[in-house]
Amino acid sequence: MGPGDLEDLLSSLGIPRNESVIVGPGDDAAIFEIQGLRLIQTIDFITPVVNDPFSFGAISACNSLSDVYAMGGKPLSAMAVVGFSSCDYGTEVLKLTLKGALSILERTGVSLVGGHCIDDREMKFGLSVTGILNSQKILTTKGAVEGDLLMITKPVGVGVITTALKGGKIDEDDIGYAKRWMMTLNEEASLRAINGGARACTDVTGFGLLGHAYNMIKDSGLDMVIFNDSVPVMDHVFEFMDMGMVAAGAYNNLSYLQDKVQFRSSLSMEQKLLLTDPQTSGGLLIAMPEVGLKIFQGLSHWVIGRFQKGTGRIIVE
């Protein structure tokens, strides 16, 4: 299943139209209007990507909040979603995970108001989040126009690094830089995107850079050109790839996109897989007019592509 496929499945069910639904299935989050207030609703959860429960909780919280930021919103409340094996873990593990999540929620002014836990052999944790728009502007995956630039706000490679951790090639003490990126909120980038006149936005998570980029041009009259050499990459990623540390999801994502992406002939398999590497709490992909780029000065960002007339495909140069 690729980016947008679940939403397409939901759309095919003939769900009755409700005029209060401003943005429904097919985007990073839903927007529902009630008495003039536009609420953002989303849910996300992940399996552990690090060994430390506190860090896992913090990373998962950042990941869950990201969909609200991708819509140009401010998160207000959250409910915890937990899969937990009481036979394999003590309650201290769950307590530390929740403390990690709370450390992020308190930073953002989000209230944890409840949650639900089920018995699950593989631990899972995430949040159902409700927010509001920061302005009248709604950032959706669609909306880019010819000539817009494509910008990303975090480097890629998290999936490779966490695979190396799981494979015992590195210790958690060695991936502090990756953990810092995963625990970096997309809040400021979202605000600047709105103020800079962004026309479309999405966050990069499990479908990798190319998967989420494709969702921005799917079924459109645009192509997206990505400058491979401009894509920021975390330290040591290619070293780990040379050891075979590639997440299975990267291969699945690449297979899904094989007829949707035209790669430069000189690109290696490793370079292609890096572009489909599943990210956890990745950066925002933003379609911006060039004039709006100056507002990102002082904040991590990289221009990695442009939009042009086309048929809804990605060209990696």
Strand order in the sheet with 222-226: 200-203, 284-288, 149-152, 302-309, 222-226, 314-316, 261-263
Note the pLDDT of residue 186. Answer: 98
Cβ neighbors of 195 (< 8 A, separation 6 or more) are: 295
Q: What is the pLDDT of residues 58-70, one digit of tens each?
A: 999 999 999 999 9
At 127, which CATH number? Answer: 3.30.1330.10
Overall pTM surpassing 0.75 (yes/no): yes
Q: Are residues 75 and 192 in the same domain?
A: no
Q: Are residues 166 and 306 in the same domain?
A: yes
Q: DSSP letter for 140, please.
A: -
- Asked if residue 142 is part of any domain, the answer here is no
For the chain, which residues score pLDDT lower than 50? none
226's enclosing H/E stretch is strand 222-226
Half-sphere exposure of 307 (CA within 13 A, CB side): 28
Last residue of a domain, one of 133, 164, 198: 133
Last residue of a domain, one of 133, 166, 190: 133
Note the pLDDT of residue 135. Answer: 86
Q: What range does the domain containing 79 cover? A: 5-133
- Torsion 180-181-185-187 (CA) sign: positive
User: Tokens for 148?
Assistant: 């817009």
Q: Are residues 277 and 240 in the same domain?
A: yes
- Asked if residue 144 is part of any domain, the answer here is no
Q: Are residues 177 and 242 in the same domain?
A: yes
Cβ neighbors of 81 (< 8 A, separation 6 or more) are: 43, 45, 115, 116, 124, 125, 126, 127, 128
Report how many domains make up the chain. 2
Note the pLDDT of residue 15. Answer: 74
At 242, which CATH number? Answer: 3.90.650.10
Note the pLDDT of residue 2. Answer: 65
Note the pLDDT of residue 1. Answer: 62
Note the pLDDT of residue 6. Answer: 66
For residues 294, 295, 298 and 299, what is the CA-based torsion angle, rounded to 10 degrees? -120
Cα–Cα distance for residue pair 287/102, rounded to 1 Å? 32
Backbone torsion region of residue 276, taken as left when φ is above 0, otherwise alpha when ψ lies between -120 and 50, otherwise beta: alpha
Cα–Cα distance for residue pair 223/142, rounded to 1 Å? 12
Return the SS3 of 186. Answer: coil
Q: DSSP letter for 294, please.
A: G
Note the pLDDT of residue 91. Answer: 86
- One-letter amino acid for residue 5 of the chain: D
The residues pairing with 201 across neighbouring beta strands, listed in sequence order, are: 286
Last residue of a domain, one of 105, 133, 161: 133
Q: Are residues 195 and 312 in the same domain?
A: yes
For residues 288, 294, 299 and 302, what is the CA-based torsion angle, rounded to 10 degrees? 50
